Amino acid sequence: MIAPNRQQELKQLLTRMQIPDRTINWDLLDQSLIHPSFSTTYNNDYLEFFGDSVLRMVVVIFLRNNYSDRPVGDLAALRSHLVSDKVLAAIADGYGFDRFLVMGESARRDPKTSLSRLANSFEAVLGALYLSTNSFCLIKDWLEPHLSDISVSVLAKPAFGNSKAALQELTQANWHILPEYKAIASEEYQVFMVEVWVNNLCWGVGKGSSIKAAQQEAAAIALPALSQSIEISAKS
C-alpha cells in the first residue's frame, strides 16, 4: 500500500497525461517510477522490460492502421525511430517524469543518465498501465497523438525513404564512418545482391533489379538493426 501523498503525486502525473485513474493499479504505477538507484529490490526494472514489449505492440498497431501502404523497410525505419530512447525521453520529459521519479542522489546528479532514465521510466509506466487493465485502453488515446505527430515530422525529412542516406547519417553520427556495400553472387537471373557492412559486421543483405535497388534494401534492413544495437549499448 503506497502512502496517500505519493498517490496524490501519481494522480497529478495521470492528470497531466489525461489518463483516468479509476482502474489504475497504484502499486504498479508507483513501482514504475522507482529507479534502481533508489532500491535494488523494489524498482522499475521488470516493468521497463515488460513495457518495452507493450510499446512495440502499440507502435506496430499504429503503423498498421495508419501507414499500411508503406514498404516494410520504411515501416521498420519509422518503428525504430518511434521506440528510440531519444523519442521516449522527449515525451516523458514533456510530462515532467523526473519530478515523479524516485531515484538515488547520485543518479539525479548525473546528466549522462538522464536520457536512458526517462526512456526506461516511460516504458515502465506503459507496463504499469497495461497491467492495470490487461489491455491498451489506458495507453492508446494519449500515446497515439504523439506517435502521429512524430511520424509526420520524420516522414517529412528528405532522407526518409532513402535508407542509404539515413544509414549514412547514423554511422557518421556515431562513428564518423560510412557504410560499406559489397556485391555478392546471386543465383537468380538479373537479380543483384548486396551486403552492407559497418564496423566489420554485416548488418543487412538486399537484392534488387539493380545494384542501387539492392543497396537500398540492404540499408533498409540494416538501419533498424543497427539503431537497436546502438540503443542497447547505450543502456548497458
> Active-site residues: which are they?
52, 123
Coil, helix or strand for 209?
A: coil
Contact 84/227 with Cβ under 8 angstroms?
yes
The full 3-state SS of 53-111, as one line of letters, equals HHHHHHHHHHHHHHHCCCCHHHHHHHHHHHCCHHHHHHHHHHCCHHHHCECCHHHHCCH
DSSP at 112: G
Give the Cβ contact number of residue 7 at 10 Å: 17
Alpha-carbon distance of 30 to 66, in angstroms, equals 33
The distance from CA 32 to its chain's CA centroid, rounded to whole angstroms, is 17
Q: Which of 51, 234, 80, 228 is CA-nearest to residue 160?
A: 80
